[in-house]
């Protein structure tokens, strides 16, 4: 990256909620990215306003994940398979990334953040890696998370770009793009359920891991807009809303906030985890945008 941190027209290094962050601006859009977890908490466009949801009850503190935006789940998704002492969704979202600079590319500004394995990460995940995260802000938000195996052994990992979309009321929205895909239902415990309906509506707690590479749209009639989650090199899509009871059980989630969000996550999880031989790289990308309906 050529430009020194803070020196480009579109990138500002700021402090938000007491933590170092970047404000990126391009093409009338604006994003806020915390170095803590490389966590994007806001993306707004001139035409469509805010596309991401962040809880008013979120923690902003070392060791705690921010609730909302786009938590970066790595190197595992959900609970750790073997160790109960390790945090859900991996350590990336609670670890500080290094800001390597930003540059203008076409109509966008692109910031690069890096996380390199350390004695601390090896305690939870015994592998050497370099993870590079590119946050591209323009008419759309493009997030690319690339992992390089810098160790001598095979590296297997899961990843999710855990995007919380802002909606007017999850009970009114229609999600499309997943019909024909099968999913594991974390609420009922069933595996390999076929999504037959073209349109998915929400009527209760929803927590599904779909095997799908497809683009997903979420139509929000009240806002008169459709949110679009596109992706590349991602074999699974997670769809999540906690509904009433689960929202109540989460300290960093307001009891009445659950209707305002739905997560659509570009992931490589479960049996679709990424297997990287020595020196190999893999990048998972999601692209978030909106259109008027
Ligand atoms: C989703 C999972 O991706 O994240 C859910 O599928 C989980 O099971 C949710 O509840 C939130 O996880 P966390 O660790 O941020 O509370």
- Determine whether the shortest distance from the Cβ of 70 to ligand 1 is under 6 A: no
| Number of other residues whose CB lies within 10 A of the CB of residue 100 | 14
- Determine whether the shortest distance from the Cβ of 89 to ligand 1 is under 6 A: yes
The answer for 89, left when phi > 0, alpha when psi is -120 to 50, beta otherwise, is left
Which of 163, 174, 245, 167 minimizes the C-alpha distance to 204? 245
CA distances for 95 relative to 116, 166, 197, 199, 257, angstroms? 10, 25, 39, 37, 26
What mean pLDDT do residues 209-238 have?
Answer: 98
pLDDT for 157 beyond 60: yes
Cα 93 from Cα 40, distance rounded (Å)? 10
Chain centroid, CA 100 distance in Å = 20
* Residue 162 falls in the annotated catalytic set: yes
* pTM to 2 decimal places: 0.96
pLDDT for 258 beyond 50: yes
Indicate which residue's Cα is closest to atom 15 of ligand 1: 67
- Determine whether the shortest distance from the Cβ of 39 to ligand 1 is under 6 A: no
What mean pLDDT do residues 8-13 have?
Answer: 79
In the reported structure, the alpha carbon of residue 78 is separated from the centroid of ligand 1 by a whole-number distance in angstroms of 6
Q: Kindly indicate the confidence band of residue 9, based on its pLDDT and cuts at 50, 70 and 90.
A: low
Which of 98, 124, 126 minimizes the C-alpha distance to 112? 98
Cα 291 from Cα 293, distance rounded (Å)? 6
Provide the pLDDT for residue 84: 95
pLDDT for 2 beyond 50: no
Name the 3-class secondary structure at 178: coil
Which helix (DSSP H) or strand (DSSP E) does residue 247 occupy?
helix 243-249
* Residue 12 falls in the annotated catalytic set: no
Q: Which atom of ligand 1 is nearest to the CA of 250?
A: 16
State pLDDT tens for residues 41-78: 999 999 999 999 999 999 999 999 999 999 999 999 99
- Determine whether the shortest distance from the Cβ of 279 to ligand 1 is under 6 A: no
Cα 178 from Cα 56, distance rounded (Å)? 30
CA distances for 263 relative to 90, 121, 148, 163, 167, angstroms? 18, 27, 27, 5, 10
Please count the residues of the chain: 293
- Determine whether the shortest distance from the Cβ of 48 to ligand 1 is under 6 A: no
């Amino acid at each position: 990256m050529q430009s020194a941190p803070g020196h480009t027209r579109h990138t500002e290094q700021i402090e938000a909620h007491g933590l170092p962050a970047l404000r990126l601006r391009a093409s009338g859009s604006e994003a806020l990215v915390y170095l803590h977890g490389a966590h994007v908490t806001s993306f707004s466009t001139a035409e469509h306003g805010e596309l991401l949801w962040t809880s008013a009850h979120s923690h902003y503190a070392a060791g705690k994940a921010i609730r909302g935006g786009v938590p970066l789940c790595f190197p595992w998704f959900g609970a750790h398979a073997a160790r109960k002492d390790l945090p859900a969704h991996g350590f990336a979202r609670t670890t500080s990334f290094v800001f390597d600079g930003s540059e203008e590319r076409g109509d966008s500004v692109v910031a690069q953040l890096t996380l390199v394995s350390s004695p601390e990460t090896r305690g939870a995940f015994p592998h050497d890696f370099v993870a590079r995260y590119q946050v591209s802000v323009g008419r759309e938000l493009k997030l690319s998370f690339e992992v390089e195996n810098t160790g001598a052994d095979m590296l297997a990992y899961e990843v999710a770009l855990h995007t919380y979309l802002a909606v007017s009321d999850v009970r009114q929205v229609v999600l499309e793009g997943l019909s024909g895909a099968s999913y594991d239902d974390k609420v009922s415990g069933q595996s390999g359920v076929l999504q037959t309906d073209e349109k998915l509506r929400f009527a209760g707690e929803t927590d599904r891991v779909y095997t799908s590479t497809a683009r997903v749209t979420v139509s929000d009639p009240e806002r008169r807009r459709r949110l679009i989650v596109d992706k590349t090199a991602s074999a699974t899509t997670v769809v999540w809303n906690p509904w009433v009871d689960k929202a109540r059980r989460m300290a960093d989630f307001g009891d009445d906030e659950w209707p305002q969000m739905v997560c659509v996550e570009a992931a490589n999880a479960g049996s679709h985890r990424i297997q990287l031989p020595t020196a190999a790289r893999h990048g998972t990308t999601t692209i978030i945008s909106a259109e008027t309906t």
